[in-house]
Protein backbone atom coordinates (compact mmCIF):
# COMPACT_ATOMS: atom_id res chain seq x y z
CA UNK A 1 0.00 0.00 0.00
CA UNK A 2 2.97 2.35 0.58
CA UNK A 3 3.50 2.86 -3.16
CA UNK A 4 -0.12 4.04 -3.43
CA UNK A 5 0.32 6.41 -0.48
CA UNK A 6 3.55 7.70 -2.06
CA UNK A 7 1.67 8.40 -5.30
CA UNK A 8 -0.94 10.29 -3.27
CA UNK A 9 1.87 12.40 -1.73
CA UNK A 10 3.08 13.27 -5.27
CA UNK A 11 -0.50 14.24 -6.28
CA UNK A 12 -0.90 16.36 -3.12
CA UNK A 13 2.16 18.47 -3.91
CA UNK A 14 1.07 18.99 -7.53
CA UNK A 15 -2.53 19.84 -6.59
CA UNK A 16 -1.32 22.29 -3.93
CA UNK A 17 0.80 24.05 -6.56
CA UNK A 18 -2.24 24.20 -8.87
CA UNK A 19 -4.40 25.67 -6.08
CA UNK A 20 -1.84 28.41 -5.53
CA UNK A 21 -1.26 29.24 -9.17
CA UNK A 22 -4.10 28.19 -11.46
CA UNK A 23 -7.25 29.98 -12.63
CA UNK A 24 -10.09 29.69 -10.09
CA UNK A 25 -12.83 30.01 -12.69
CA UNK A 26 -15.66 27.64 -13.55
CA UNK A 27 -15.81 25.37 -16.59
CA UNK A 28 -19.03 25.25 -18.57
CA UNK A 29 -19.56 21.66 -17.36
CA UNK A 30 -21.04 19.77 -14.38
CA UNK A 31 -19.90 16.56 -12.72
CA UNK A 32 -21.90 13.32 -12.42
CA UNK A 33 -23.64 14.67 -9.32
CA UNK A 34 -24.65 17.83 -11.14
CA UNK A 35 -22.17 20.05 -9.27
CA UNK A 36 -20.65 22.93 -11.27
CA UNK A 37 -17.02 22.14 -12.11
CA UNK A 38 -14.14 24.49 -11.42
CA UNK A 39 -11.10 24.38 -13.69
CA UNK A 40 -9.26 23.32 -10.54
CA UNK A 41 -11.57 20.29 -10.17
CA UNK A 42 -10.67 19.18 -13.68
CA UNK A 43 -6.96 19.92 -13.17
CA UNK A 44 -6.82 18.03 -9.84
CA UNK A 45 -8.65 15.07 -11.38
CA UNK A 46 -6.18 15.00 -14.30
CA UNK A 47 -3.19 15.09 -11.91
CA UNK A 48 -4.49 12.04 -10.02
CA UNK A 49 -5.49 10.11 -13.15
CA UNK A 50 -2.03 10.67 -14.69
CA UNK A 51 -0.21 9.75 -11.48
CA UNK A 52 -2.02 6.40 -11.12
CA UNK A 53 -2.06 5.41 -14.79
CA UNK A 54 0.45 2.61 -15.16
CA UNK A 55 0.59 1.88 -11.41
CA UNK A 56 0.91 -1.93 -11.28
CA UNK A 57 -1.41 -2.34 -8.29
CA UNK A 58 -4.23 -0.12 -9.57
CA UNK A 59 -6.89 -1.72 -11.75
CA UNK A 60 -9.25 1.24 -12.10
CA UNK A 61 -10.24 4.69 -10.90
CA UNK A 62 -13.61 6.18 -9.92
CA UNK A 63 -13.67 9.96 -9.62
CA UNK A 64 -16.29 12.31 -8.25
CA UNK A 65 -15.64 14.38 -11.39
CA UNK A 66 -16.47 11.57 -13.82
CA UNK A 67 -19.50 9.32 -14.38
CA UNK A 68 -18.16 5.76 -14.47
CA UNK A 69 -15.15 3.56 -13.67
CA UNK A 70 -11.93 4.12 -15.65
CA UNK A 71 -10.26 0.71 -16.10
CA UNK A 72 -6.52 1.14 -16.68
CA UNK A 73 -4.91 -2.23 -15.90
CA UNK A 74 -6.96 -5.46 -15.87
CA UNK A 75 -4.24 -7.23 -13.87
CA UNK A 76 -4.31 -4.58 -11.13
CA UNK A 77 -5.65 -5.41 -7.67
CA UNK A 78 -7.23 -2.20 -6.37
CA UNK A 79 -9.84 0.33 -7.45
CA UNK A 80 -9.21 3.84 -6.13
CA UNK A 81 -12.33 5.99 -5.61
CA UNK A 82 -11.44 9.61 -5.05
CA UNK A 83 -12.70 13.15 -4.72
CA UNK A 84 -9.87 15.14 -6.28
CA UNK A 85 -10.66 18.49 -4.70
CA UNK A 86 -13.47 18.35 -2.16
CA UNK A 87 -14.96 21.72 -1.26
CA UNK A 88 -13.19 23.34 -4.22
CA UNK A 89 -15.59 26.31 -4.18
CA UNK A 90 -13.91 27.34 -0.90
CA UNK A 91 -10.60 28.03 -2.68
CA UNK A 92 -11.74 31.43 -3.92
CA UNK A 93 -12.51 32.53 -0.34
CA UNK A 94 -9.12 31.16 0.76
CA UNK A 95 -10.43 28.40 3.04
CA UNK A 96 -8.91 24.94 3.35
CA UNK A 97 -9.95 22.16 0.94
CA UNK A 98 -8.95 18.53 0.50
CA UNK A 99 -8.55 15.37 -1.57
CA UNK A 100 -10.05 12.07 -0.42
CA UNK A 101 -9.05 8.53 -1.52
CA UNK A 102 -10.67 5.14 -0.86
CA UNK A 103 -8.70 2.03 -1.90
CA UNK A 104 -11.01 -0.94 -2.55
CA UNK A 105 -10.11 -4.59 -3.15
CA UNK A 106 -12.94 -6.12 -5.18
CA UNK A 107 -16.56 -4.97 -5.35
CA UNK A 108 -16.99 -1.30 -4.45
CA UNK A 109 -18.53 -1.51 -0.98
CA UNK A 110 -17.58 -0.69 2.58
CA UNK A 111 -16.33 -4.11 3.61
CA UNK A 112 -13.86 -4.08 0.69
CA UNK A 113 -12.30 -0.76 1.66
CA UNK A 114 -8.76 -1.83 2.58
CA UNK A 115 -7.17 1.59 3.01
CA UNK A 116 -7.93 5.28 2.73
CA UNK A 117 -6.16 8.63 2.75
CA UNK A 118 -7.00 12.28 2.74
CA UNK A 119 -5.01 15.46 2.12
CA UNK A 120 -5.75 18.87 3.63
CA UNK A 121 -4.61 21.90 1.60
CA UNK A 122 -4.44 24.65 4.21
CA UNK A 123 -1.71 26.80 5.78
CA UNK A 124 0.23 23.53 5.49
CA UNK A 125 -0.32 20.37 3.43
CA UNK A 126 -1.31 17.54 5.77
CA UNK A 127 -1.90 13.88 4.96
CA UNK A 128 -3.63 11.14 6.95
CA UNK A 129 -3.40 7.53 5.80
CA UNK A 130 -4.92 4.37 7.23
CA UNK A 131 -4.71 0.68 6.39
CA UNK A 132 -7.63 -1.46 7.60
CA UNK A 133 -6.80 -2.91 11.02
CA UNK A 134 -4.06 -0.36 11.76
CA UNK A 135 -3.99 3.06 13.46
CA UNK A 136 -4.17 6.13 11.20
CA UNK A 137 -0.91 7.97 10.51
CA UNK A 138 -0.52 11.74 10.20
CA UNK A 139 2.08 13.56 8.04
CA UNK A 140 2.89 17.23 7.35
CA UNK A 141 4.72 18.42 4.22
CA UNK A 142 7.84 20.50 4.71
CA UNK A 143 9.69 21.55 1.55
CA UNK A 144 7.92 18.84 -0.48
CA UNK A 145 8.78 16.10 2.04
CA UNK A 146 6.05 14.50 4.19
CA UNK A 147 7.24 14.18 7.81
CA UNK A 148 5.43 12.05 10.39
CA UNK A 149 3.50 14.11 12.94
CA UNK A 150 1.76 11.39 14.92
CA UNK A 151 2.45 7.68 14.58
CA UNK A 152 -1.17 7.14 15.67
CA UNK A 153 -4.23 9.40 15.89
CA UNK A 154 -6.82 8.74 18.60
CA UNK A 155 -10.22 10.30 19.38
CA UNK A 156 -11.23 10.90 23.02
CA UNK A 157 -14.38 9.10 24.21
CA UNK A 158 -16.09 12.52 24.35
CA UNK A 159 -15.09 15.72 22.54
CA UNK A 160 -15.99 19.39 22.42
CA UNK A 161 -16.54 20.21 18.73
CA UNK A 162 -19.80 20.12 16.78
CA UNK A 163 -19.78 20.33 12.96
CA UNK A 164 -23.46 20.30 11.87
CA UNK A 165 -23.84 20.09 8.07
CA UNK A 166 -26.86 20.39 5.85
CA UNK A 167 -29.37 23.18 5.33
CA UNK A 168 -30.87 23.89 8.75
CA UNK A 169 -34.31 24.84 7.39
CA UNK A 170 -34.58 21.27 6.01
CA UNK A 171 -33.39 19.44 9.14
CA UNK A 172 -35.84 16.98 10.70
CA UNK A 173 -37.03 18.11 14.17
CA UNK A 174 -35.28 15.25 15.99
CA UNK A 175 -32.00 16.18 14.27
CA UNK A 176 -32.34 19.85 15.23
CA UNK A 177 -33.08 18.86 18.82
CA UNK A 178 -29.96 16.62 18.87
CA UNK A 179 -27.73 19.45 17.56
CA UNK A 180 -29.22 22.02 19.95
CA UNK A 181 -28.68 19.72 22.95
CA UNK A 182 -24.97 19.41 22.12
CA UNK A 183 -24.63 23.18 21.99
CA UNK A 184 -26.55 23.40 25.30
CA UNK A 185 -23.85 21.07 26.72
CA UNK A 186 -21.22 23.64 25.69
CA UNK A 187 -19.99 22.18 22.37
CA UNK A 188 -18.25 24.65 20.09
CA UNK A 189 -19.44 25.20 16.51
CA UNK A 190 -16.70 24.27 14.02
CA UNK A 191 -18.08 24.09 10.45
CA UNK A 192 -16.37 25.52 7.34
CA UNK A 193 -18.33 23.76 4.57
CA UNK A 194 -15.29 21.65 3.73
CA UNK A 195 -15.66 18.10 5.06
CA UNK A 196 -11.92 17.39 4.89
CA UNK A 197 -10.73 20.25 7.16
CA UNK A 198 -13.86 19.92 9.33
CA UNK A 199 -13.29 16.20 9.98
CA UNK A 200 -9.51 16.69 10.28
CA UNK A 201 -10.02 19.34 12.98
CA UNK A 202 -12.26 17.06 15.08
CA UNK A 203 -9.74 14.21 14.71
CA UNK A 204 -6.81 16.38 15.80
CA UNK A 205 -8.65 18.30 18.53
CA UNK A 206 -9.66 15.17 20.41
CA UNK A 207 -13.17 14.60 19.24
CA UNK A 208 -16.77 15.72 18.85
CA UNK A 209 -19.11 15.03 15.95
CA UNK A 210 -19.45 15.87 12.25
CA UNK A 211 -22.94 15.32 10.88
CA UNK A 212 -24.36 15.55 7.40
CA UNK A 213 -27.91 14.23 7.90
CA UNK A 214 -30.70 13.32 5.57
CA UNK A 215 -32.97 16.35 5.19
CA UNK A 216 -36.47 16.98 3.85
CA UNK A 217 -34.97 18.21 0.57
CA UNK A 218 -32.17 15.58 0.45
CA UNK A 219 -33.36 12.48 2.39
CA UNK A 220 -30.27 10.50 1.29
CA UNK A 221 -27.91 13.29 2.35
CA UNK A 222 -25.31 14.95 0.12
CA UNK A 223 -21.97 13.25 0.73
CA UNK A 224 -20.92 10.45 -1.64
CA UNK A 225 -20.35 7.02 -0.13
CA UNK A 226 -17.39 5.64 -2.09
CA UNK A 227 -15.08 8.63 -2.25
CA UNK A 228 -16.12 10.88 0.66
CA UNK A 229 -17.96 9.00 3.43
CA UNK A 230 -16.41 5.51 3.54
CA UNK A 231 -12.75 6.68 3.44
CA UNK A 232 -13.38 8.90 6.49
CA UNK A 233 -15.38 6.13 8.21
CA UNK A 234 -12.26 3.91 8.06
CA UNK A 235 -10.12 6.70 9.53
CA UNK A 236 -12.55 7.52 12.35
CA UNK A 237 -13.11 3.90 13.38
CA UNK A 238 -9.34 3.29 13.30
CA UNK A 239 -8.92 6.34 15.57
CA UNK A 240 -11.29 4.83 18.15
CA UNK A 241 -14.41 6.71 17.05
CA UNK A 242 -17.57 5.63 15.26
CA UNK A 243 -19.07 6.34 11.83
CA UNK A 244 -22.77 5.55 11.33
CA UNK A 245 -25.73 6.36 9.11
CA UNK A 246 -29.22 7.55 10.16
CA UNK A 247 -30.22 3.95 11.03
CA UNK A 248 -27.29 3.61 13.41
CA UNK A 249 -25.57 1.15 11.06
CA UNK A 250 -21.80 1.31 10.55
CA UNK A 251 -21.11 3.25 7.36
CA UNK A 252 -18.51 0.59 6.47
CA UNK A 253 -21.39 -1.88 6.07
CA UNK A 254 -22.84 0.13 3.17
CA UNK A 255 -22.87 -1.26 -0.37
CA UNK A 256 -23.88 1.51 -2.82
CA UNK A 257 -25.92 0.57 -5.89
CA UNK A 258 -24.32 3.36 -7.94
CA UNK A 259 -20.80 4.84 -7.66
CA UNK A 260 -22.23 8.30 -6.93
CA UNK A 261 -24.73 7.21 -4.24
CA UNK A 262 -24.87 9.40 -1.13
CA UNK A 263 -25.80 8.66 2.49
CA UNK A 264 -26.63 10.53 5.67
CA UNK A 265 -23.46 10.26 7.74
CA UNK A 266 -22.24 10.91 11.28
CA UNK A 267 -18.60 10.69 12.35
CA UNK A 268 -17.40 11.19 15.90
CA UNK A 269 -16.39 10.14 19.38
CA UNK A 270 -18.30 7.37 21.09
CA UNK A 271 -20.28 9.62 23.45
CA UNK A 272 -21.64 11.81 20.66
CA UNK A 273 -22.53 8.88 18.42
CA UNK A 274 -24.39 7.26 21.34
CA UNK A 275 -26.34 10.51 21.79
CA UNK A 276 -27.09 10.54 18.05
CA UNK A 277 -28.47 6.99 18.14
CA UNK A 278 -30.64 7.98 21.14
CA UNK A 279 -31.99 11.03 19.27
CA UNK A 280 -32.72 8.95 16.13
CA UNK A 281 -34.27 6.09 18.14
CA UNK A 282 -31.93 3.51 16.60
87 binds ligand P6P (CB under 6 A): yes
The residue number whose beta carbon is nearest to ligand P6P equals: 195
272 binds ligand P6P (CB under 6 A): no
Closest distance to ligand P6P from the beta carbon of 143 (Å): 28
Closest distance to ligand P6P from the beta carbon of 86 (Å): 5
Interface stretch with ligand P6P, choices 7-15, 160-168, 181-189, 236-244 (CB under 6 A): 160-168
Nearer CB in complex with ligand P6P: 64/112:
64
As a dihedral over the C-alpha atoms of residue 49, residue 50, residue 56, residue 61, rounded to 10 degrees, the angle is 10
193 binds ligand P6P (CB under 6 A): yes
194 binds ligand P6P (CB under 6 A): yes
Counting residues that bind ligand P6P (by CB under 6 A) gives 11
Which residues partner with 63 through β-bridges?
82
Closest distance to ligand P6P from the beta carbon of 121 (Å): 13
Nearer CB in complex with ligand P6P: 152/167:
167
Yes or no: say if 155 and 241 are a contact pair by the CB < 8 Å rule.
Answer: yes
Closest distance to ligand P6P from the beta carbon of 205 (Å): 17
Residues 195-214 that bind ligand P6P (CB under 6 A): 195, 212
Closest distance to ligand P6P from the beta carbon of 66 (Å): 16
Q: Which residues bind ligand P6P (CB under 6 A)?
A: 86-87, 165-167, 193-195, 212, 222-223
Amino acid sequence: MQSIFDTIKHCALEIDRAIKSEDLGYCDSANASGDDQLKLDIKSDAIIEKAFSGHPLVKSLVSEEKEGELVMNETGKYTICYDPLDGSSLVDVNLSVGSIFGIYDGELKGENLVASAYVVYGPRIELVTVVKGEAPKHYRAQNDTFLTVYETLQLNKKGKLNAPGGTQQHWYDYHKSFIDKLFAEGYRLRYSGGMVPDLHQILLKGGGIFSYPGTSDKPEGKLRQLFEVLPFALVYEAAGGEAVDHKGHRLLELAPLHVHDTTPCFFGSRYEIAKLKEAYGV
